[in-house]
Amino acid sequence: MKRQLRVTKADGTSEAYLHTKVIGTINNALSAVGQADMAVAEDLAEVVTFYLYKRSGKRKVTSSEIFSMVKAVLAATDREDAAVALSEHAYERRLKRTRTEVLAIDVQDYTDVEILFQTTPLPRARWDKARIVQDLTEKSGLSRLTARAVAAMVEEQIFKMGVSTIPSSLIKQLVLGETATTLRAERELQTV
């Protein structure tokens, strides 16, 4: 039996390689250019996964190596436009992550809004979804996989808002809501 391949993420953490994430990434890239095709995505993901497991003795790979392989497979199969769309999407995500700041403020009601407009600067931190994952795994005991899914959904909501600063209390509410939704879905899947 083959040993599970490990992926080193950009934040330095490590997780098991998931073939399904590669399928999703490829299909999202194809969708971005109006060519969504799950069968093609699965075939191309098989190429990436096969290559990763056949490399001589390596059991670790970085997420950026996987990203480069996906782009190369898309380009090599005459889907350069999907490779470009994938690159643009990744660039936009990095840009949003660097431009989004978390304000250390607990907004509870309308009167707290005035704090946001103070002339004194509020403590700020750069957006980091890994902190959500860490909090959910360490403080709440969620699995890393579930915590990463919650963090990704919260990040998506924040980026859709189009804000450059966000109160930490809003992040907490988003995390609680997405965690409840995810746990409910997991429970329903177990009863099916």
Which position has the token pair 């970085």? 62
Q: What's at 186, amino acid-wise?
A: E
pLDDT computed for residue 131 by the predictor: 93
Q: Which amino acid, 3? A: R
Across the chain, which has 192 residues, the per-10-residue mean pLDDT values are: 80 88 96 95 95 82 94 96 96 94 80 63 85 94 91 95 90 95 90 74
| The amino acid at 13 | T
pLDDT in tens, 116-156: 666 556 778 999 999 999 999 999 999 988 999 999 999 99
Q: What integer pLDDT is reported at residue 116 of this predicted model?
A: 63
- 88-121 residues labelled b (16+ CB within 10 A) or e (exposed): eeeeeeeeebeebebbebebeeeeeeeeeeeeee
Longest Cα separation, the chain: 62
Give me the pLDDT at residue 121, please.
Answer: 67
pTM reported for the whole predicted model? 0.76
Q: What is the pLDDT of residue 112?
A: 66
Q: Where are the alpha helices (DSSP H) in the chain?
A: 19-32, 38-54, 63-76, 80-99, 113-116, 129-138, 144-161, 168-191
User: What are the boundaries of each domain within the chain?
Assistant: 6-94, 100-191
pLDDT of residue 1: 46
Residues near 163 by beta carbon (within 8 Å), at least 6 away in sequence: 100
Which segments of 139-167 does DSSP mark as H helices, in order?
144-161
Residue with tokens 């990704």: 152
pLDDT at 115: 66
Please give the backbone phi and psi of residue 74, each rounded to the nearest 5 degrees, phi first.
-60, -45
CA dist 30 and 45 (Å) reads: 12
* Residue 124: burial class (beta carbons within 10 Å; 0-12, 13-18, 19+): exposed
Q: Given this model, what pLDDT does residue 54 score?
A: 86
Sign of the torsion angle spanned by Cα atoms 107, 108, 114, 119: negative
- Cα 22 from Cα 79, distance rounded (Å): 16
Q: ∠ at Cα 135 (134, 138), nearest 5°?
A: 80
Q: State residue 114's pLDDT score.
A: 66
Which residues have C-beta within 8 Å of that of residue 109, sequence separation ≥ 6?
A: none
